[in-house]
Structure 1
Amino acid sequence: MTTFNLYIGYRFVAHHEYPNIQLPIMSETNALKGKLALITGCSGGIGQASARSLARLGCSIAVHHSSSSSKPKADALVKELTELGVQAKPFQADLSTYPGADALYQQVISELGHPDILFSNHGATGKVIGPNGNIEDIPVEMFENIWRLNTGTSFRLAQLCIPHMEEQRWGRVIFTSSVAAGTGGVIGPHYASSKSALHGLVHWLSLRYAKSGITANAIAPALIEDTAMMSNPTPEIRAKIPIGRLGKPDEIASIVALCATNGYMTNKVIAADGGWTSGGF
């Protein structure tokens, strides 16, 4: 009788029929021990929840935040993470520019070392024109700025982090996309297109680096509470979610942990949207 490996809560319960096969033994305290995650946009709801989730798995965290106004949140999060027994430090950087991405990376490797996990979670909406807005309402300068922030510097950080991941033959690249990438969303064409561009990046990265032990995935949330983007959603926006409520940051963080601990899942865009879309995109 074949006994199969059972995976429960980040823990592999080893089977006994094939004792020569080495399987990872994971628990909530050691699955990512010795790893470092760079999480951008880490002062927001999804970033904070994901930092806590990975830290509980033993992962050290480079906490990125974007401005002096977000520094208190970043500092409080760092204190909380260090109390969990991992290394954590805050790093302020403007990721609307490529030099800002370069500076963040250099500061992180100088103070904590090379990231093993990149969770590129930063971004902004820009002007909100909604699904019934006019395309001429988005100046081309805004289009380029949103693309640089939402897509360009995510590409740049991956470009900087992957060589070390390839050298050690282990790495995780995770992007925060959006349901807007597959539906058009409720913001505008600049935002939706910047997020869909991340999907093409995931596909290329995963196919190119899978054999080097590097996975690449994107998470596409719909409307998540406790985030600046959805601080005051209208009833019409809420009504788009079949499950009847907004998502919670912890629900996205659990997918981040899955992407970080699972070495077999790559080249995926995971829609966490309360049923808005009927399948993957």
Structure 2
Amino acid sequence: MSLKGKLALITGCSGGIGAATALALARQGCSIAVHYNSAKDKAQSLSKSLQEISSDVRVDIFQADLSDYDGVRQLYNQVVQTMGHPDILFNNAGALIKTIGRMGNMQDVSIEEFEKTWKLNAGSSYLLTQLCLPHMVEQKYGRVIFNSSVAAGTGGVIGPHYASSKSALHGLLHWIASRHSKDGVTCNAVAPALIADTAMMSNPTDEMRKMIPVGRLGVPDEIASVVELLVTNAYMTNKIIVADGGWTASAF
């Protein structure tokens, strides 16, 4: 399926997985709306790389703080005004907020930190999807992908606030996929384990590496290839694709 003429909005696009996905989709002719929060230099560098792929690929960068719902609305409005309505939405932005580990105490994550984690990891994705869906439904084409985590099915290594914020995305995608499959809109998620060259895994421990059966962390390109599959395959919807180096035995 050709992506020429399509527009993808990728949140957290200046990070490892976001940037790798942007490059993968652009190689298929897709135009990219690059979102970033604070890493302006990385966003500008990525934009230059994307523009070098093809003159047919339109690229622009957009700054927004997605921990604020007004920032989400601002991002959507600026993308539509500048580039048009997104055909593809990759809800990739997220944060750990706080790490307590597998053996930490739940009492060490305050309700305020819990809510902050959920607002950024789940709430902003909900709102941005809500804003993008009407046009996708109207044109009978749309791709919505969430960046979840293996933590949603295993508890992970960060903490209960993070794991639960990611599992919330699964219920959301199941509802959207069931509701809008007939409208030509697919909705899926990729659930990575520990991925190198990302802000979340900037300093992985040997214990973390030992948890992965293949004996290493994943790399952003390996996650980007899954997103590319979910964008180009119109028959795949309502799925969570786990890319975790063999940590889990099957999908969850």
TM-score (norm 1): 0.88
Displacement of 1:162 in angstroms is 0.4
How many residues were matched structurally?
A: 250
**Match status 1:233 vs 2:204:** yes
2:49 aligned to 76, 80, 84, which one? 80
Displacement of 1:54 in angstroms is 0.2
| 1:203 paired residue number | 174
**Match status 1:178 vs 2:114:** no
**Match status 1:104 vs 2:93:** no
- Give the distance between the partners of 2:52 and 2:139, measured in 1 at CA: 29
Displacement of 1:83 in angstroms is 1.2
Displacement of 1:84 in angstroms is 1.2
2:124 aligned to 148, 153, 163, which one? 153
Give per-residue Cα distances to partners, 1:154-195, cap 9 Å, x unaligned: 000000000000000000000000000000000000000000
SS at match of 2:62: strand
- Give the distance between the partners of 1:142 and 1:156, measured in 2 at CA: 20
Segments of 5+ residues of structure 1 without an aligned counterpart are 1-25
- The amino acid of 1:81's aligned partner reads L
- The CA RMSD over aligned residues, in Å, is 0.5
Higher percent of residues as helix: 2
1:133 aligned to 84, 104, 114, which one? 104
Percent of pairs with identical residues: 66
- Give the distance between the partners of 2:188 and 2:249, measured in 1 at CA: 19
- Give the distance between the partners of 2:77 and 2:48, measured in 1 at CA: 22
Displacement of 1:32 in angstroms is 0.2
- Give the distance between the partners of 1:106 and 1:193, measured in 2 at CA: 29
- Give the distance between the partners of 1:127 and 1:32, measured in 2 at CA: 38
The 5 A counterparts of 1:20-169 are: 26=1, 31-67=2-38, 70-85=39-54, 86-169=57-140
- The amino acid of 1:58's aligned partner reads G
Q: Which has the larger radius of gyration?
A: 1
- The amino acid of 1:80's aligned partner reads S
Segments of 5+ residues of structure 2 without an aligned counterpart are none
